[in-house]
Structure 1
């Protein structure tokens, strides 16, 4: 068959082998790979001028593949064992392979007609995730989405539609803590809520939402003629790994008739750990949960889920016609997922996550989660042994933060010193322990979720961190 497309099989096969060899080869030399490689202004300009626009004439696949490798060499290695910044994404080879398999079939996972196989997997996987979180098996459901931002946004749409009358939109109030992820405030803004309709509840000394302050805020707002409709709690805050007192918050929400959503984009994965599952007491009482598999479950970007207590509410909010109930009834063996969320065109994200779980099994996944939690606890223990170091937030869900505080320096000088320690660790390719602020001061933070990092390596990182601190302390005047 002749046509415009004239690719031959062999160059494609060769390119696939080359990129596969490149990907798998990095695991043989991870220790020496750069954690972070950022293009400077000159390099970025060269890349832009050389590669950014398409030409009228074709290029050989092998040449373009080399260009792609050069371009993508400038990046932060979120999957590096010693990358502790933000929330890493330590993708396993099996997670990468699952993405390759999913992309191979290019399934449109919007309707059951187009994706009956993958949609059946998505339905069963989400039902299982919901029951693992404690949601009722009879009614729980959900949908795969691109990330925590979209998962949170989806849940906030449900909260608005089910708890906030249309004539109260201008006086509706949502409650977050001062540790809540920024995607929540952005989502509320996208939905049309003003900044003064988002109540920021203070956190306690454990960085959890203060339950008494929450109750007081709701009472005050009702007295002022406002209309509380939603509480957003967090299981695993980005800054410190704190878990809000979900059970107490859910009890308040039930009493006040508010929607309660848990942002578990990071921390919810620990539900799959037999050892740490108990940390999530009260999750069974909530209305919705966000959960990212591309954070702590070793998936490529993007792979996230929103789980809901009552799946019929998704169809009620997102179905494009009035006959919404039919897609959420128990008799509907495979739903049309485009009626459960914002996206019409959507990839089969759930299938690649299913692939990883199927290959590894839950026991191994749970042990990997436990390992990450143990790494942060190891780092905390090592730091506590050192003079003039301060734990600013103890290890929680594999996140820990600390600060070097030698005598005779002001808070601003200490901020500069700790920033310098972080920068030097990265410059030496020892680790990416980036800084954040805890209680207003600059601290070093680690999110240690890579299953390939050993505790001995963590101890060596902490030891070098202390040496750098001592070396730099005399430079900060």
Structure 2
């Protein structure tokens, strides 16, 4: 196939029509549960062998390749997908991904982001308003919560470190304070920034796995006595393992008292700002200096698409102020339309187009509907679990994340960890459901993230029935 044929509009039209038909069939089969499995799990080596054999066959029909990709992938649109915190994207947003993949415009400079940069501004302003920030706030999109949280902590360092670390390097030992249940990316970001293990001050959690904010003062004073300069406190909204929300109001009060940067990692649970029913979970979020929210988790957008919003728009420009003459004529100006001045990324995906396609088609109400549906479903699941004495909740969930475990009164409780691990492994290998697991204070729990709004209570009952069936064979 030569280049002329490869770029042929008619060739593309034919392939695109075929692919859309295949994807529509996938959606239908997933929703009606006629797919063979939620996850076609195989050992890594077996999957590698499959694709190596495919590669050795040379060129072939792309449609066959696309069909193989669908068959070999985890099916997030299946109602019995209850695994990781990644949403089944809305079809309209996936189509927007096809559009942006073809256009392939970057976003670092305005000339390459004529559409995506203005749309990013519209979306950032909307999210800032939902958070409760003033019109002086500012934000942008970046590739995932890990990168967004790192960028926020770099902004905190620029604002609160005693010297200009960007130009002069570290003159003090810096530190941040965070819940022991916070996402691992906070720990990673602090280490990347040169804080070391001592610079990550982990605050214990209560019996609901929320930060014990009454301990903040004690740990802060201890850090100072150890020669550390604390620059920020990070609140989780919500934690990854249990979906627990920290007391953001109390953290905000503490940060105001000590002139510290207040950052909220709302990658997963921050989406409740769209919900009248559940937004009280993030009371105090408007006090934050910076907030991270993933559009690709609770807001039905293809990954990766994460918002980082600053209460003070000027802070968005202080993190990176290096020179790039070939990109910008005015190095020091604060230009929202040149996103490369505020992010790690230069050639950034047109992620704002995918998000805006949802907003334009359905309005912001669909975000609230999804959040409410998934949180309500978690409450329903709690009720179902409580009807069965062979299951134990870790905590009553605040979000759409539910941690529970199978218990058998006839067995030694010391075997529950291995029993539930074995149950989860067999579920994975069977592929009828996809759930994960987590360990909370040395107890292993099965963990469900209810990400698909088409999941029904009958699917949850079927999950528990399958777990009991597996447990009987293990016992």
Farther off after superposition, 213-222 or 5-14: 5-14
| Match in the other structure for 2:22 | 22
Q: 1:160 aligns with which of 152, 157, 160?
A: 157
Matched, 1:35 2:32: no
Tell me the SS of whatever aligns to 1:116: coil
Inter-partner Cα distance in structure 2 for 1:433 and 1:117: 38
Farther off after superposition, 6-15 or 87-96: 6-15
CA contact (8 A) 2:79 2:456 kept: no
Deviations 1:204-234 (A, max 9, x none): 1111111012221001111232211111111
Deviations 1:156-175 (A, max 9, x none): 11011111123765421111
Q: 1:121 aligns with which of 119, 122, 129?
A: 119
Query: 1:4–1:54: structure 2 CA closer, same or farther, 3 Å change rule?
Result: farther
**Match runs of 1:219-298 below 5 Å:** 219-298=221-300
**Match runs of 1:373-412 below 5 Å:** 373-412=375-414
Inter-partner Cα distance in structure 2 for 1:306 and 1:52: 40
Q: 2:197 aligns with which of 195, 198, 201?
A: 195
Unaligned stretches of 5+ residues in structure 1? 329-333
Matched, 1:434 2:436: yes
Inter-partner Cα distance in structure 2 for 1:254 and 1:52: 58
Shift in Å, 1:191: 1.7
Q: 2:415 aligns with which of 413, 416, 430?
A: 413
CA contact (8 A) 1:177 1:200 kept: yes
Shift in Å, 1:78: 3.4
CA contact (8 A) 2:39 2:433 kept: no
Q: 1:141 aligns with which of 138, 144, 147?
A: 138
CA contact (8 A) 2:88 2:452 kept: yes
Inter-partner Cα distance in structure 2 for 1:177 and 1:214: 10
CA contact (8 A) 1:375 1:398 kept: yes
Unaligned stretches of 5+ residues in structure 2? 164-168, 325-329
Inter-partner Cα distance in structure 2 for 1:435 and 1:84: 11
Aligned residues: 460
Taking structure 2 as the reference length, what is the TM-score of the superposition?
A: 0.91
Q: Higher RCO, 1 or 2 (CA under 8 Å, sep at least 6)? A: 2
CA contact (8 A) 2:27 2:77 kept: no
Farther off after superposition, 99-108 or 14-23: 99-108
| Match in the other structure for 1:331 | none
Inter-partner Cα distance in structure 2 for 1:80 and 1:269: 22
CA contact (8 A) 1:315 1:325 kept: no
Shift in Å, 1:182: 0.7
| Match in the other structure for 2:369 | 367
Shift in Å, 1:16: 0.9
CA contact (8 A) 1:37 1:73 kept: yes
CA contact (8 A) 1:101 1:352 kept: no
Deviations 1:127-153 (A, max 9, x none): 11011111222x211111010001001
Inter-partner Cα distance in structure 1 for 2:48 and 2:151: 38
Q: 1:64 aligns with which of 55, 62, 65?
A: 62
Shift in Å, 1:95: 1.9
Deviations 1:250-305 (A, max 9, x none): 11011111111111110111111121112111000001111111111111121111
| Match in the other structure for 1:177 | 179
| Match in the other structure for 1:450 | 452
Tell me the SS of whatever aligns to 1:318: coil
| Match in the other structure for 1:327 | 334
Shift in Å, 1:438: 1.8
Deviations 1:62-103 (A, max 9, x none): x13423432453233334321212213211212212222222
| Match in the other structure for 2:75 | 77
Deviations 1:311-352 (A, max 9, x none): 222222223349665325xxxxx5211111111211221121
Q: 1:100 aligns with which of 89, 98, 101?
A: 98
Shift in Å, 1:306: 0.7
Shift in Å, 1:198: 0.6
Inter-partner Cα distance in structure 1 for 2:334 and 2:139: 12
Inter-partner Cα distance in structure 2 for 1:438 and 1:410: 19
Inter-partner Cα distance in structure 1 for 2:449 and 2:3: 49
| Match in the other structure for 1:6 | 5
Inter-partner Cα distance in structure 2 for 1:219 and 1:423: 45
CA contact (8 A) 1:371 1:449 kept: no
RMSD: 2.2
Inter-partner Cα distance in structure 1 for 2:13 and 2:3: 20
Tell me the SS of whatever aligns to 1:301: coil
Shift in Å, 1:365: 2.4
Matched, 1:50 2:53: yes
Shift in Å, 1:54: 11
